[in-house]
Chains A and B, each alone.
Chain A
Amino acid sequence: MLEDRFLVRQLNQGSMQALRRIYEKHREDLFTIVVSLVGDKHLAEDCLQDVFVHLAESAGRIRIRSNLKGYLAGAIVNRARDRLRRESRQVDCPIDELQLEETPARPDEQSICDEQTSALLQAMAGLPVEQREVFILHAQGAMSFRQIAGQQRVSIRTAHSRYRYAVNKLRVLLKKADLI
């Protein structure tokens, strides 16, 4: 957290190195979030680019209230929402196109794992957008409900409820597919 603050301070003074370090440090988490949100690799890359170009354009006046990761996660969710709205798209999930990070699982576990991951992504794509955002930001982005509530401009209780609804729906969908 202190490293992030340091990097933001450096970036606010125009440090190219700080910009690179922030990108290296947060790109995977952000990309995971945005892919899960939009289900499209190319669209996710565009969102990631938008966020970092905007971050660079804001250098000198960036004020982080909580933490950098939360700030960037909030930014990428907003981008994803805008892009989806602009392109009037539904979220789909062509998992074959996505570059999954290698997981150190045994070969027999790998296929089960892939199957479950694929099914979870499909199920997440079927969630209402607000619930999907809360679930992804909390489960994948490790954001607190307080942070998510701030990001979605709702109460903490509402953020919590959305998460609960999301998990219940995912449970039903995954059970239907006999995966849990």
Chain B
Amino acid sequence: MRTSKHIEQLAQNIHFRPDEKTDERILAEAEAALRKRTFPATQPEKMRIIIMRSPLTKLAAAAVVVIAFLIGLSFWRTTGSGIALADVLARVEQVKAYRFQQSIKTTGADPNKPYSLERRGTGLMSHEYGWKFRFEQLDPNGGWSTFREGCTFPDRKTMIIIMPKEKKYSRTEFDDRWAEQLEEREPRTWIKRILACKHESLGRSTIDGIEVEGFQTTDPNWLVDVRDKVEVDVKMWADAKTRLPVRYDFTSAYFDPMGDKIIKHGHVVMHDFQWDVPVEAAEFKPVIPDDYTGTVVKYPAHITEETNIQGLKRFVELLGKYPEDLTDSGATVLRSVEKRETPAAMRLKEEIKGLTEDEIGNKLADFLMPIRGLGRFWDILEADKEDRAYYGKTVTPKDADKVLMRWKVSDSEYRVIFGDLHAETVLPERLAELEKNLPK
């Protein structure tokens, strides 16, 4: 080993640590100093979501961008060394179709459920035909195998996923809200979100021989559904000549409710973009082998309080109780139905007797549609930051005066669905009274 390296290593091997008493003393002093500080109660995380969820404010935000462009305000300002992020967005908006590669690494640090997933894939996005994707997953032996492939057709609100390992495919029919969420995965939407957040230039550098300019945001508002305990680091580099993205690098860390440790860490890289590629409709026709079995997944076209009540009603009819968790998938429900002998479960089992696989798939998709809508409704309440709660673990269909589910509809009102599935709007004080009487 070279002596300079040896000296460095010697230095790296030196470790000192303060003793316990010193730790206690320093922490006590620092905590006392922190206690003397006052902090304004701000909730910056919620602002963008609330503002941008409203179609009117979205329109207003777009108008601001247009006006800023017309009068040359700083929105279009370059970051000093060359190109402006808004130039990149404008350029991406002109693109009709593009290909890219993607790698995703997710690790979960929950000691009870540790996991590590590594996936890589290719994508083709066409504004005319839809989105095509193929993902491989790294198996424990270090080999890659096709995990999922398929197509999404936003105009038809349909997604087809092929699962080669399971020899299955699924056709999902989704709602407007989901279509909106799918858009959030597009690079152009990522740029819009970087623009909407505080961001800075990373300056010029070179990626794969291309001179690029980088942009970065670490604002958690970049995420679609911002949660309190999350950090993000989003970087995007654009070709200094063409103004088109060359690479995205997105890292996120989710913390436990106490903010004590990272429970999930994700790293997504999008690279090797090919912009403005020619595409043909035939590329977007998924090839499903004959021996694959299919399932149809349907969601109500519009998720409302009414569809939510229908879903709860259907669940009770089938299983005789409310779901403990509203995000339970239809597959979980079906497994439970097999063991149940409620009149509705018996009737369903009778109705699918003698049907072909495809017919059963369609029948079950229709039958489970209201139940699948439950999870979507719950997600919508979460995304809209409505103060929501669900008590399906303890409230039964006989509890006509007990709160089964509730969410905030305005500053002074809550909507409540009771155990017998009737709904009322109540004041916060009344809700507090009702929630005092919940079964333990």
Residue numbers of A with Cβ under 8 A of B are 1-3, 5-7, 9-21, 23, 27-28, 31-32, 35-36, 44-45, 48-49, 52-53, 55-57, 59-60, 98-101, 103, 113, 116-117, 120-121, 124, 135-136, 139-140, 167, 170-171, 174-175, 180
Contact = CB atoms under 8 A, between A and B. Distances in A.
A167 B59 CA distance: 61
B10 interface: yes
A32 B12 CA distance: 10
A44 B22 CA distance: 11
B231 A3 contact: yes
A44 B13 CA distance: 19
A2 B30 contact: no
Nearest to A5: B231
A52 B3 contact: no
Given A20-B27, A59-B34, A99-B16, A6 B10 contact: no
A56 B15 contact: no
26 contacts: A1-B233, A2-B252, A2-B265, A3-B261, A6-B230, A10-B259, A17-B259, A20-B31, A21-B260, A23-B30, A27-B18, A31-B16, A32-B16, A32-B17, A35-B16, A45-B18, A49-B29, A52-B27, A52-B29, A53-B30, A60-B37, A60-B39, A117-B10, A120-B7, A136-B11, A140-B11
A58 B407 CA distance: 38
B34 A14 contact: yes
Contacts of B35: 16
A1 B13 CA distance: 23
Interface of B: 3-4, 6-8, 10-19, 22-23, 25-27, 29-31, 33-37, 39, 218, 229-233, 251-253, 255, 258-262, 265
A99 B17 contact: yes
B172 to A, nearest CB: 32
Contact of B6 (A19, A35, A36, A180): A180
B26 A49 contact: yes
B14 A36 contact: yes
Contacts of B15: 28, 32, 100-101, 103
B120 to A, nearest CB: 22
- The CB with the most chain B CB atoms within 10 A, among A11, A48, A175, is that of A48
A19 B252 CA distance: 22
A2 B39 contact: no
Nearest to A57: B33
A61 B10 CA distance: 38
- The CB with the most chain A CB atoms within 10 A, among B12, B31, B232, B252, is that of B31
B10 to A, nearest CB: 5
A54 B2 CA distance: 40
Nearest to A58: B37
Contacts of A120: 7, 10-11, 14
Nearest to A124: B11
B27 A23 contact: yes
Contacts of A170: 7
A7 B29 CA distance: 19
A59 B35 CA distance: 10
B100 to A, nearest CB: 24
Top 9 nearest A-B pairs (CB, nearest first) are: A101-B15, A56-B33, A2-B253, A139-B11, A56-B34, A14-B39, A52-B30, A2-B231, A6-B231
A171 B261 CA distance: 41
B259 A18 contact: yes
Contacts of B39: 12-14, 59-60
A134 B63 CA distance: 52
Contacts of B14: 32, 36, 100, 117, 120-121, 140
A24 to B, nearest CB: 8
Contact of A139 (B8, B253, B258, B265): B8
B26 A45 contact: yes
A180 B7 contact: yes
A20 B230 CA distance: 19
Contacts of A13: 39
Contacts of A140: 11-12, 14
A117 to B, nearest CB: 6
B7 A174 contact: yes
Nearest to B21: A45
Contacts of B229: 6
Given A3-B253, A27-B18, 14 more contacts: A2-B253, A2-B262, A3-B255, A5-B231, A9-B231, A15-B259, A23-B30, A36-B11, A48-B26, A49-B25, A60-B37, A99-B19, A167-B4, A171-B7
- The CB with the most chain A CB atoms within 10 A, among B18, B25, B31, B37, is that of B18
B26 A52 contact: yes
Nearest to A27: B18
B16 A59 contact: no
B222 to A, nearest CB: 13
Nearest to B232: A2
B41 to A, nearest CB: 9
Given A23-B27, A53-B30, A59-B37, A6 B259 contact: yes
